[in-house]
Structure 1
Amino acid sequence: MGTSDAVRALKAAQIVMEGDNVELSSEAKERIIRLFRDSMTRLAKFEELADVGSRLLQGYRQGLEFLRRPPIKKSDVVEKIIKANETERLKSYFGEKSKCINTSDALENINKLNACDSGLKDHLTRAKAIVTELEMLVEETATATLCTKEVSILLCKAPNDMSDAAAAPTRHEESVSPPSPAQSSEASELEYALMTGIICSMVRQEYAMQEKIVTSLNFKVSSEELESYCLMWSIRPNINDDIMRMAWKLIR
């Protein structure tokens, strides 16, 4: 979801609250801001985990590509060099069974593959826990907004659904006007609340992508697939940079 979609979602909910004459208590406002900051803490932890996961995925790719190295076809010149400098190390590289891969290196890479695979599965467990915590924060935020039906629905929807709902005319008015000075503080609290929902939704979608990648890994996965997995993981397509900048500005 782009920045304009997020803004439309915030403004649509603003209209709903203004039309319903919703007034949040100072305690509710403080709670909403605290919950938003908690969600940003979870987001930071998720990004740290994603960085580690990216390195593990790259390690898995490197280990698997090493094991796929093709054998070197020995020419007469190579045969003479091997015989003149025959060592156990050279034998292990050029033996029929090893297919030019040093035995100890092959074992090391198999261990590396297993370690990366275990690390990625552990990543999913930790990332899933963060998603669950974010979903709980969204529920608490919805409660803090006095459980206003329309606002809670907007808050808990996925980004695409939120943008669709925001783009549709509400029962109060069809155009979105900026908040008046008296309403600016109220709109700010709502922005915290809805940003909590947007963050949760982005992280949830990113986790779903990572889960699909990890569960697809095996010794038969192609080099092209591995490359695309590593690329998608690193660019984090579900984390919108513009929305992230908006969110971090609310922290300052």
Structure 2
Amino acid sequence: MEGEGKVISNPDDEVREILAEFMVGVIKFEELVEVGRKSLIRFQQALEFLRHPSIYESSELVKNILKMNETMRVTAYIEAGCINAYDSTQSVVQMNTSLCNLQDCLTKANDIINNLENLMDKAGNALCMNSDDQLETELQGSEQEVTSPEKLDAANCASFMAVIYSMVKQDYTMQEKIVSSLNFKSSSDELESYRIMWTLRPFVDDDVVHQALAQVK
């Protein structure tokens, strides 16, 4: 029968190749995280600018200067919250642009996560396609590779993918919740907490990621 007796490639090598492709996706996700972080900071800065007057009116010196220059222009400026119309408009534009950039990052990140899931499934299928007997035969022919502590076998590579996928997925979910919570009423404390959590990435263990990268270099 056609295909009978066909030798399947070493599952260790096959799954390591899948892991290498998987880690390329993880690196792309990491790059998007940094882009998103910068956009979140720009949103935070723009909103804080709108909230805080550019003139410190409680200063006695400032009070005296304003009192000596009670022109219609100065009065209108103070009534507007000490922010001129142009600066206010620019801040709103920056906020909207930042939100759009964050949404774009999430869209691209979601595509990456879907691809990571597909690669993880591919690795699982590669393991299942090799029976225990066949796997044992192949490993006997490459004893040095198996005993080498520098390289993981197929099962461990697949485990790495499962763990990293879980971390990345949780990181993405956190980012998604942060972006959906952003609006003109977001408090300063909220924004600062979001920025810290986005940077800290509590669900991601960098050591695990670095260990996986070391396997595909």
Q: Is this a same-fold pair by TM over 0.5? A: yes
Q: 1:190 to 1:217 in 2, by over 3 A?
A: same
In the alignment, which residue of structure 2 is the partner of 1:132? 114
Using the alignment, how far apart are the partners of 2:49 and 2:197 within structure 1? 22
Q: 1:140 to 1:87 in 2, by over 3 A?
A: farther
Matches within 5 A, 1:52-201: 52-70=35-53, 73=57, 78=62, 81-82=65-66, 90=74, 93-94=77-78, 96=79, 98-146=80-128, 183-184=146-147, 188-201=153-166
Give the AA of the match of 2:111: A
Q: Over the residues paired in the alignment, what is the CA RMSD in angstroms?
A: 2.8
Shift of 1:25: 4.4
Find out whether 1:214 has 2:196 as its counterpart. no
- Alignment length, in residue pairs? 196
Q: Is the 8 A contact 1:39 1:199 kept in 2?
A: no
Q: Which residue of 1 aligns with 2:205?
A: 240
Q: CA, structure 1 residues 74+53, in 2 after alignment: closer, same or farther (shift >3 Å)?
A: same
Secondary structure of 1:247's counterpart equals helix
2:38 counterpart of 1:38: no
More displaced stretch, 134-143 vs 78-87: 78-87
Query: 1:224 and 1:193, CA in 2 relative to 1: closer, same or farther beyond 3 A?
Result: same
Task: Quote how far apart the aligned CAs of 1:189 are.
Answer: 2.6
Contact kept, 8 Å, 2:12 with 2:153, in 1: the verdict is no
Question: Cα distance 1:84–1:232, how it changes in 2: closer, same or farther (>3 A)?
Answer: same
Q: Distance in 1 between matches of 2:73 and 2:36?
A: 34
Residue in 2 aligned with 1:165?
none
**C-alpha separation in 1, matches of 2:165 and 2:21:** 11
Q: Secondary structure at the match of 2:208?
A: helix
What is the DSSP-based 3-state SS (H/G/I as helix, E as strand, rest coil) of the residue aligned with 2:153? helix
Q: Does the CA-based 8 Å contact 1:56-1:116 persist in structure 2?
A: yes
Seen in structure 2, the aligned counterparts of structure 1 residues 81 and 251 have a Cα distance that, compared at 3 Å, is same
Amino acid at match of 2:164: I
Pick from 185, 195, 198 the counterpart of residue 230 of structure 1.
195
Q: What percentage of residue pairs aligned between the two structures are identical?
A: 38
Separation in 2, partners of 1:105, 1:88:
19
- Sort the Cα spacing of 1:79 and 1:204 in 2 relative to 1 into closer, same or farther, 3 A: closer
Quick check: 29-38 or 69-78, which moved more?
69-78
Amino acid at match of 1:47: E
The residue aligned with 2:215 is 250
- Segments of 5+ residues of structure 2 without an aligned counterpart are 1-6, 131-142
